[in-house]
Amino acid sequence: MKQKWTLVSLLIGAFLVFGFTFWFGLTPKQNLVQKSTLESAPDYFLEGALVKLFDENGLLVEKILAEEVKHFPVSGESRLIKPSITKIQKSNHWTALSDTGLMKDKEKDIIFTGSARIVSQADSQPATTITANTIIYSDKDGSITNIGDATVISPQGNIKADTITAFTHSSKVTMQGSVRGSYEQNR
């Protein structure tokens, strides 16, 4: 009789374990935070970021400052607050500033928005400033495209256009849209 109750209690215990396992196995997993929220969240967040890039000779070629950096792995981009990016190329350098910025991981392109401006200066030359609503730097061809109320301010004069594109590896500049202003060529 004692063996019968032991056998019955073992069977009931096994049935309960099997039942709970089956029941919880069918219940969908739940997280405290929804998966879609986690996918759109940054994987890291930095404040007061300063990055310096050097070439193989130890010379500074790029400096990035930002009040805040958030990196998003799903979209492969970093969002910047108050970015300041300086690129140094041989005898000239340029610095881009804006309220916000967006850097693409793969292409290394940078988009500046909100009070965006670029200051370009060659050695022993006065600075040239370009302002626009949006400035896009393309690392692939070294172009800087200024879109929306673009203005060039230089000692030679001031020019406004809908779109102004400058190339960092040459002195070539193209302007599109309504171009107006005055410009005197250096002699």
Q: Which domain holds residue 108?
A: 42-183
Say whether pLDDT at 99 is over 70. Answer: yes
pLDDT value, residue 67: 95
7 contact partners, CB below 8 Å, separation of at least 6 = none
In the predicted structure, residue 28 carries a pLDDT above the cut 70: no
Q: Is the pLDDT of residue 20 over 70?
A: yes
pLDDT at 2: 63
Identify whether the C-beta of residue 160 lies closer than 8 Å to the C-beta of residue 147.
no
- Judge whether 109 lies within some domain: yes
Which has more confidence, 27 or 170? 170
Label residue 40 by pLDDT band (50, 70, 90): low
Q: Please check whether residue 87 lies inside any domain of the structure.
A: yes
Instruction: Give the total number of structural domains in the chain.
Output: 1
Grade residue 135 by pLDDT with cuts at 50, 70 and 90.
very high
CATH code at 53? 2.60.450.10
Residue 15, domain member (yes or no) = no
* Domain assignment of residue 11, yes or no: no
> For the segment 138-166, what is each residue's pLDDT rounded down to a tens digit?
888 888 899 988 998 888 889 899 999 98
> Given this model, what pLDDT does residue 187 score?
55
In a domain, 106, yes or no: yes
Residue 105 inside a domain? The answer is: yes
pTM of the model: 0.72
In this predicted structure, the answer to whether residue 101 has a pLDDT above a threshold of 90 is: yes
Residue 116 lies in a domain: yes
Tell whether 132 is covered by a domain: yes
